[in-house]
Amino acid sequence: MLSLDPMDIISSTSWFSNIEPSLQKTLASKMIREDVEDGHVFFWEGTAIDSIIIIESGRLIRSKAVDREKFSLSAVMEQGGESSLSSSLSAPFQKELFKKNSVDLDEISGKGRVTGMLRVINEEHSRSYATLRSVGRSVVWRIPADDFINILSSDAGFAMMMLRKVAHKMKAGSKSLKSMLKNSQKTFRRGPSSSLEDEDNDAKGRDTISSPSRKAPVRVLCYDTTQWVKSAFEPAVQAFNKLHSSFNIEMKFTNDRLSEQSAMYAAGYDAVCLFVNDSANANALRILSMLGVRFIAMRCAGFDRVDTKSAKAHGLTVARVPAYSPYAVAEHAISLLMSINRKIPAASTRVKMANFTLDNSLLGMDIHGKTVGIMGTGKIGQILCKILNGFGANLICYDIFESDEVKNLGAEYVSRDYIYEEADIIFLMMPLLPTTKHTINTDAVSKMKDGVLLVNTARGGLIDTKALILGLQSGKIGGVGLDVLENEADYFFQDWSAKSIEDPELTSLLGNNRVVLTAHQAFFTKEAVSKIVDTTLDNIKMWKNDGLEGLAHPNNCLPSTMV
Ligand SMILES: NC(=O)c1ccc[n+]([C@@H]2O[C@H](COP(=O)([O-])OP(=O)(O)OC[C@H]3O[C@@H](n4cnc5c(N)ncnc54)[C@H](O)[C@@H]3O)[C@@H](O)[C@H]2O)c1
């Protein structure tokens, strides 16, 4: 492969393009060209960075280990990788290795892009934060760290220029630094006599609660704060801090959801508290981790919006509230069923308008004697089975694990298709996973009994909404009770009454009188909220105070293996 002259490369970098030509020449004289194959590893995570790398062409990817034991250099060698750090791993081996054991953080590509500079300058932290590898063939130039430091030391003007550039790079993160500074100043300012009232409120939409105690608190930022969240957590945190003399939580609230943009708010916090629609994707988690956040307290059971693999790679502990009140959700599922079956919303509206007549539009059916399919017989599904047993329904269930408790009720475990073909009513009670996404799709709907009633309180993504709407329009589906929706994150927990709804699927469902929709409120009972708050605070304490990190945390939802 034809390569450029080192001087061309030097002048194409933002770091060295403006330095004295004589210095450029000195640097160029130290540059070593490398033409590498797909999969070549430049640095393994945690190993010393021995050179600055300047890209001439190609794509470099930085990946972080998910399972360090399987991803260290020695482990790779044991698994059959090449023995030399500078060699390329064979393409299939590399692909499998990275896919199973790491997450990609970012890509560095383009002529003149430089990597390794900050680590080389900061000798104390010269170990690589991530593994850097080539995807496809790349041509790079290395400047050995020792040579670079020697040149830097020999020229004060060059050193100053590098310092200014480093400062400029760091300014790019100034928003987070400012926020961090602000938070730390508050901590310092909070002297022995200061109290809750001394705290200034943050930017719009953010307020603070803390304890008047002098103990250094664990700082938690609570995202997606709606009215109930604040009113439930505020007094609970105060009470919790009074109860625990050696441990203190300081919780702040933001109305915003976690996203790649709002992740910056967490600068200066130890932990974040998230709910069902916060998006903890790989990028948001990377930002949280870089800001120093180490714990994610889910104030819910589901964690399908958390990229747990990335979280693990970044050393974040993620804990959830595994069970708060399965009764709350199961009972709400029954409310939805009875609402669609007995047409309660229409009946109530009619009566409120002083129309006390009956006609066939209000005609329902007995649940007694009907065949009910329950897909997912975990905590909530089991309670639901008991309630439905009380109705005198015939229960047929589908789950990847069978429950003896459910079988003792006389329920039978059957295939999914059997449920579609035989059930008059179907409840979805399983988690949203890649394998369960769109369980209810056009094919499933086509197998169902005419007029089947469907209830979903689990996760919206279990149903292909388009297939559902078609099923409703064709009459195949007689009615549907939903507490969750595939695209609920755009609308739920917000007041849209004065705005127009752009989502045609949501509009279609809202306009259909055979649909009863609630906005993710199945969990919302006094008992469940109290359990959510208590478990969330305990989860934070177990992590920070009792040192239960990662998989050691009893309520963690991290993957135990990364395969
Ligand atoms: N709407 C709400 O307010 C609300 C509140 C709490 C929970 N939920 C949701 O309800 C669902 C169930 O909660 P839970 O506490 O009973 O969970 P759980 O973990 O106790 O039970 C889930 C069950 O689903 C089964 N399952 C897993 N994969 C499956 C598959 N491919 N096919 C069939 N079954 C499968 C599991 O074996 C388990 O028995 C979760 O998705 C949760 O997120 C919703």
* Tens digits of residue pLDDT in 211-254: 444 467 999 999 999 999 999 999 999 999 999 988 899 999 99
Question: 331 CA to middle of ligand 1, Å?
Answer: 15
Closest CA to 16 of 152, 110, 139: 152
* Tens digits of residue pLDDT in 177-197: 455 445 544 443 433 333 222
* Tens digits of residue pLDDT in 28-67: 999 999 999 888 888 888 888 889 999 999 999 888 776 6
Of 399, 413, 440, the residue with max ligand 1 atoms within 8 A of its CB, to mutate for a pocket test, comes to 399
Query: pLDDT value at position 67?
Result: 63
* Tens digits of residue pLDDT in 110-146: 888 998 887 787 766 577 878 888 988 999 999 998 8
Question: Hey, do 191-324+529-552 and 330-517 end up sharing a CATH topology, with the first three levels equal?
Answer: yes
Q: Is the CB of 101 under 6 A from ligand 1?
A: no
CATH architecture, range 330-517: 3-Layer(aba) Sandwich (3.40)
Instruction: Report the percent of the chain where pLDDT is more than 90.
Output: 64
User: So where are the chain's domains?
Assistant: 6-154, 191-324+529-552, 330-517
Residue in the block written with tokens 């709002």: 262
Query: pLDDT value at position 456?
Result: 98
Chain-centroid distance of CA 559 in Å reads: 13
Higher pLDDT, 245 or 99: 245
* Position 96 pLDDT exceeds 50: yes
Q: What is the mean pLDDT of the chain?
A: 87
Query: Residues, the chain, total?
Result: 563
β-partners of residue 61 are 107, 133
Least confident interval from 116-125, 353-362, 378-387: 116-125
Residue 395: CB atoms within 10 A of its CB come to 23
Query: pLDDT value at position 106?
Result: 76
Question: Which is the closest atom of ligand 1 to the Cα of 398?
Answer: 33
Pairwise CA distance, residues 224 & 229, whole Å: 9
Query: pLDDT value at position 122?
Result: 72
Question: Which is the closest atom of ligand 1 to the Cα of 430?
Answer: 24
* Position 172 pLDDT exceeds 70: no
Query: pLDDT value at position 209?
Result: 53
β-partners of residue 57 are 139
Axis-axis angle for helices 526-544, 326-341 (nearest 10): 150
CATH classification (class only), 6-154: mainly beta
Query: pLDDT value at position 216?
Result: 76
Query: pLDDT value at position 202?
Result: 35
Least confident interval from 64-78, 150-164, 353-367: 64-78
Closest CA to 476 of 445, 454, 455: 445
Q: Using the 8-state DSSP alphabet, how is residue 194 labeled?
A: -
Contact call for residues 562 and 101 (beta carbons, < 8 A): yes
Residue 513: CB atoms within 10 A of its CB come to 12
Residue 249: CB atoms within 10 A of its CB come to 28
Question: 536 CA to middle of ligand 1, Å?
Answer: 19
Q: Is the CB of 310 under 6 A from ligand 1?
A: no
CATH superfamily of 191-324+529-552: NAD(P)-binding Rossmann-like Domain (3.40.50.720)
* Tens digits of residue pLDDT in 484-531: 999 999 999 999 999 999 999 999 999 999 999 999 999 999 999 999
Instruction: Report the percent of the chain where pLDDT is more than 70.
Output: 85
Amino acid occupying residue 43: F
Query: pLDDT value at position 285?
Result: 96
Contact call for residues 78 and 126 (beta carbons, < 8 A): no
Query: pLDDT value at position 84?
Result: 42
R_g over Cα of the chain: 29
* Position 103 pLDDT exceeds 80: no
158-167 in b/e form (b: 16+ CB < 10 A) is beebbeebee
Question: Which is the closest atom of ligand 1 to the Cα of 276?
Answer: 43
Higher pLDDT, 529 or 561: 529
Q: Is the CB of 379 under 6 A from ligand 1?
A: yes
Query: pLDDT value at position 2?
Result: 60
Pairwise CA distance, residues 339 & 331, whole Å: 12
Averaged over 11-24, what is the pLDDT?
Answer: 88
Least confident interval from 141-145, 151-155, 458-462: 151-155
Averaged over 72-86, what is the pLDDT?
Answer: 57
Question: 275 CA to middle of ligand 1, Å?
Answer: 16
Query: pLDDT value at position 104?
Result: 75
Enumerate the active-site residues.
459, 488, 520
Query: pLDDT value at position 50?
Result: 87
Distances (CA, A) of 553 to 232, 543, 550: 24, 7, 6
CA dihedral 55→57→63→69, nearest 10 degrees, is: -90
Q: Is the CB of 380 under 6 A from ligand 1?
A: yes
| Max mean pLDDT range (41-55, 152-166, 194-208, 446-460) | 446-460
* Position 69 pLDDT exceeds 80: no
Q: Any residues with CB less than 8 A from the CB of 53 and at least 6 apart, and which?
A: 42, 60, 114, 115, 116, 132, 140, 141, 142
Query: pLDDT value at position 138?
Result: 92
Contact call for residues 425 and 411 (beta carbons, < 8 A): no
β-partners of residue 103 are 64
* Tens digits of residue pLDDT in 419-443: 999 999 999 999 999 999 999 999 9
What are the φ and ψ backbone dihedral angles of 90, each rounded to 5 degrees? Answer: -65, 145
Amino acid occupying residue 5: D
How far is it between the farthest Cα atoms of the chain? 96
Averaged over 371-380, what is the pLDDT?
Answer: 98
Pairwise CA distance, residues 280 & 374, whole Å: 30
Question: Which is the closest atom of ligand 1 to the Cα of 431?
Answer: 41
Handedness of CA 73, 79, 81, 82 (dihedral sign): positive
CA dihedral 83→87→88→90, nearest 10 degrees, is: -30
Q: Is the CB of 436 under 6 A from ligand 1?
A: yes
The protein residue with its alpha carbon nearest to ligand 1, atom 10, reads 458
The structure tokens listed for 130 are: 């991530």
Q: Is the CB of 456 under 6 A from ligand 1?
A: no
Pairwise CA distance, residues 113 & 134, whole Å: 14
Q: Is the CB of 36 under 6 A from ligand 1?
A: no
